Amino acid sequence: MRLIRVAIIGGGVTGMTAAYHLQEQSKERGLPLECTLFEATSRIGGKIQTHRDQKFWIELGPDSIFTAKPDGVTLLRELGISDQIIHAVSGQTSLARNHTLFPIPRDLYMGIPARWSAMAMSPLLSPRGKLRALGDLVLPRTSELETLSLGHLLRLRFGHEVVEQIAAPLLAGIHAADIDRMGIADATPAIEHLIRTHRSLLLGAKRSKKRTQRPASQSASSPFISLQGGLSTLTEALFAKTNEFVHYKTNAPVKQLKKNPDGSYTFVYLSDNVPTRFEADAVILATPAHAAAAIVETLGITTDLLPSIRYASTATVILGFAAATFPEQREMTGFLVPRSAGLSITACTVVTTKWPSSLDQKQVVVRCYVGRDGSEEILKQSDEDIVKAVEDDLHAIWKVKRTPAFYRLTRWPISMPQYDVGHANRVARMEQALHDFPGLAMAGAAYRGMGIPDCIKDGKRAATHVLKHVTQIE
Ligand SMILES: Cc1cc2nc3c(=O)[nH]c(=O)nc-3n(C[C@H](O)[C@H](O)[C@H](O)COP(=O)(O)OP(=O)(O)OC[C@H]3O[C@@H](n4cnc5c(N)ncnc54)[C@H](O)[C@@H]3O)c2cc1C
């Protein structure tokens, strides 16, 4: 068999996982494979970015891996770094309303009330809102799930208040999304399953929560993990494991992907700022969808999928305060902000409480998000103005004015893919269109799940797909 050249475009966790699996499988099967990874920026890791100081580390992008999706933990084990796992501390998360923090009701399942008492006792809902939420128990089964948004579904079942005050911050918040545009099956397959199997969502949530609850005797460690040294430890381990097999090219943005008459692919990348041609038998595109759209423009894929995947922009603002000024925040791991609260902050994590081993305890560090789908105007402001808006919000909530000892703002423009209603159908159509381009795979947060474990799974899927193609080449 002749030497097979595989190109991976995009050096985030998806592209790196694809590279790792290509290496492992080609070694195992004795395949003559040459793998090159092209990354547009000067660093590998994509959105995973840990800032390290001598005494602490802080995440500028993602901060945790959700263990209920097993692909993340499996990869950590394969890379031999599972001994470096640290668990998030499960503390109390609150919701901000009228500049006051209220604990999130505990009896929720995937952001859905799983007991009537969860709502009945909550100060977040008015008596009218509580009564309306009971409608779920008597309403007929909801159908037409393919065309309903998650917000629409939950408004039908529980009314407006439960959606605004509880479900939207919890379910849409982590994706910087608008719950009234999120597809049910696309963004939250577990909720789709609930509604397909139960007439009442509340009763379904109650049963599912009971099934998944641990016995009181078992300690409930958080399902969110990180690694000693932060999440960059993962991408560094991927790099260390693969860098003899994979040619990593940084500062090498790719454009103009074309298919050759013999079925191979050619594209142009910048090498020392000089446009350079590269030929490959197979290509894995592991960039965000908007970047993939620009790269395949010359390929003639007749689909509107890539440009139609919308992205939201966001920014993280990390603020460090002297611990002595913070007697009261030690139990709280953070708070979420409903849209109706009228704050600039959309969510806040008390890093010191959630990840105590990442910081020395002489300071209290909080990480705030600003900007989400439909509310991105704040991101047009200067860094100083954004930080000031965040400080003003914290002041209003804490009722105490504290001056941060340091801050760090990281902008994440067009970074959060939005799984709008119909997303899964668009991805299926894209897959269909790719049948005309054997050896080309698209993977990453834009398509089949946006969390790190989803990206890891998708990187592996793309590697397997491409290997199947190249092993058929004479
Ligand atoms: C602020 C923030 C917080 C998040 N928090 C969490 C969290 O706590 N847990 C979680 O599971 N997920 C979280 N996510 C989501 C998760 O981080 C991402 O979905 C995941 O890291 C995406 O990985 P990826 O490899 O698919 O894409 P990326 O990390 O975006 O990597 C794609 C790479 O492609 C490169 N590229 C783009 N165009 C080109 C080109 N033309 N040529 C070559 N290279 C190119 C880019 O420079 C980039 O390095 C968060 C995301 C953000 C933005």
* Top mutation candidate among 287, 297, 414 for ligand 1, by most atoms within 8 Å of CB: 287
* Top mutation candidate among 8, 17, 42, 47 for ligand 1, by most atoms within 8 Å of CB: 47
pTM score: 0.95
Give residue 425's domain range. Answer: 4-46+235-309+421-470
Q: Do 114 and 208 fall into the same domain?
A: yes
99 in any annotated domain: no
Residue 433: Cβ within 10 Å count: 14
Q: Distance, CA 234 to ligand 1 centroid (Å)?
A: 14
Pick out the chain residues at pLDDT < 70: 213-220, 302-303, 327-331, 474
Please report the pLDDT score of residue 327 as a whole number: 67
Rounded CA-CA distance 331/353 in Å is 7
96 in any annotated domain: no
Q: Do 259 and 346 fall into the same domain?
A: no
Q: Do 134 and 188 fall into the same domain?
A: yes
Q: What is the tally of structural domains in the chain?
A: 3
Q: Distance, CA 457 to ligand 1 centroid (Å)?
A: 14
Q: Do 357 and 435 fall into the same domain?
A: no
Q: Do 401 and 257 fall into the same domain?
A: no
Q: Do 302 and 316 fall into the same domain?
A: no
Q: Do 257 and 381 fall into the same domain?
A: no
Please report the pLDDT score of residue 105 as a whole number: 82
User: Partners of 59 in the beta sheet?
Assistant: 50
Q: Do 22 and 37 fall into the same domain?
A: yes
16 in any annotated domain: yes
Q: Are strands 282-285 and 4-9 parallel, antiparallel or unpaired?
A: parallel
220 in any annotated domain: no
Q: Do 113 and 204 fall into the same domain?
A: yes
Q: At 12, is the secondary structure helix, strand, or coil?
A: strand
Q: Is 396 exposed, middle or buried (0-12, 13-18, 19+ CB in 10 A)?
A: middle
Rounded CA-CA distance 241/24 in Å is 10
Give the domain-ending residue among 369, 399, 414.
414
Question: Which residues form the pocket of ligand 1, taking CB atoms under 6 Å from any ligand atom?
Answer: 9-15, 38-41, 46-48, 61-66, 253-254, 286-288, 291, 295, 314, 316, 412, 415-416, 444-445, 450-452, 455
Q: Distance, CA 363 to ligand 1 centroid (Å)?
A: 29
- Ligand 1 atom 29 nearest Cα: 46
130 in any annotated domain: yes
Q: Distance, CA 15 to ligand 1 centroid (Å)?
A: 10
100 in any annotated domain: no
- Ligand 1 atom 14 nearest Cα: 62
Q: At 14, is the secondary structure helix, strand, or coil?
A: helix
Please report the pLDDT score of residue 214 as a whole number: 61
223 in any annotated domain: no
**Helix H or strand E encompassing 270:** strand 265-271
Residues 251-285: pLDDT tens digits? 999 999 999 999 999 999 999 999 999 999 999 99
- Ligand 1 atom 27 nearest Cα: 12
Q: Do 336 and 397 fall into the same domain?
A: yes
Both tokens assigned to 441:
């795979």
